[in-house]
Amino acid sequence: MRGAILGLTAAFSVLAVLPAARAGTPYPVKMKCAVGGEAFTHTATGSYSTWGSRPDGKPYGSWIFPMPLPVCPGNGLVMYRDFDKAEIAALTGLVASPEYKALVAAKETPYYRAAWLEGRLKPGSEDVPWILLQATWEADDEPARQARYDREFVAAANAQPAKPTELIWAVLQARAANAERQLGDFDAAARRLAAVDPAVFQPRTDGQPDPDAKNRPGWAAFYKELSVVIARRDPAREPLDMIDEGQAAWLCKQMPDRSKAQPAGFCERPEIAKRTAEMRD
């Protein structure tokens, strides 16, 4: 999971394509529920394209993001990873619990339920905040639920032990600061970014291998761009100056009143206006 997190569009793509330009390749996967043995079919994809991402990490692409998780139709167990025998025994009780049944009944999203399960299978798991972050993407059409998930993601990030010299910790802080920004807590977001030592974005100097070397510059740039958006107190989930240029042009095209675009005058920039005009044609 670490590699996927660190490489998840830290620096933004320059591809000028729109979502309709590429397609995923869906195929059925026959599965067996880890609890109860129910057989069901999950739709996966063999390939997909992406072109940049939002500041919360959700990619723009030709498939569904986050990647849909297999869910057992009967008991609602989310098969978000492989489980060992001990975990399956624990899951049997968890999915039958009133708490989990309430999550299913409330239509909490698969990733949200996966985070709940992971937190009980492995208390203190460092994967929980990352799973919750993806749950916030699932709630795009439900602002109240999304805000609640954002708050829970921030709380889960805060619960992780500080590792100020590790890039993965700095990335978690960036995502948490962005969630605070989206919630309108701009001061907290600014304080969080300011608390991160910029040295974490510099190459290692101790002569040891640095598997994060190629990702450090992109995340340093992300911090600077996010700081600008926080400073202007912009809560947008898709700040125009932090997303793929083609996607930004598409959003400009959809705006009924471009005078409200942030940053001011963005939609009138020559390169954006040109792309918007091409879409219109």
Whether 220 shows a pLDDT value over 50: the answer reads: yes
Compute the average pLDDT of residues 123-146: 98
pLDDT band at 204 (very low <50, low <70, confident <90, very high): confident
Helix (H, G, I), strand (E, B) or coil at 228: helix
Q: Taking a C-beta distance cutoff of 8 angstroms, is the pair 34, 88 a contact?
A: yes
pLDDT band at 232 (very low <50, low <70, confident <90, very high): very high
Q: Where are the alpha helices (DSSP H) in the chain?
A: 2-6, 85-96, 98-105, 110-121, 128-138, 143-158, 167-182, 186-194, 216-231, 245-254, 270-280
Compute the average pLDDT of residues 83-89: 97
Distance in angstroms (rounded) separating the CA atoms of residues 120 and 133: 18
Does residue 164 have a cis peptide bond before it, meaning omega lies within 30 degrees of 0? no
Average model confidence (pLDDT) across the chain = 91
- Report CA-CA distances (Å) from 135 to 4, 152, 213: 16, 10, 29
**Domain assignments of the chain as residue spans, ordered by start:** 2-243, 244-281
pLDDT of 201 reads 97
pLDDT of 102 reads 98
Q: How many CA atoms lie within 13 A of 271 on its CB side?
A: 8
Helix (H, G, I), strand (E, B) or coil at 22: coil
At 20, give phi and psi (nearest 5°).
Answer: -75, -10
Compute the average pLDDT of residues 42-64: 94
> Higher model confidence: residue 213 or residue 256?
213
How many separate helices (H) and strands (E) can be counted in the chain?
11, 4
pLDDT band at 4 (very low <50, low <70, confident <90, very high): low
pLDDT band at 261 (very low <50, low <70, confident <90, very high): confident
pLDDT of 256 reads 84
pLDDT of 252 reads 94
Compute the average pLDDT of residues 54-71: 96
Assign residue 57 a region: left if phi > 0, alpha if psi is -120 to 50, beta otherwise?
Answer: left
Helix (H, G, I), strand (E, B) or coil at 185: coil
pLDDT of 258 reads 84
Q: Which of 64, 63, 147, 149 is closest to 103 using CA atoms?
A: 149
Two tokens, residue 81: 């990873």
Compute the average pLDDT of residues 134-160: 98
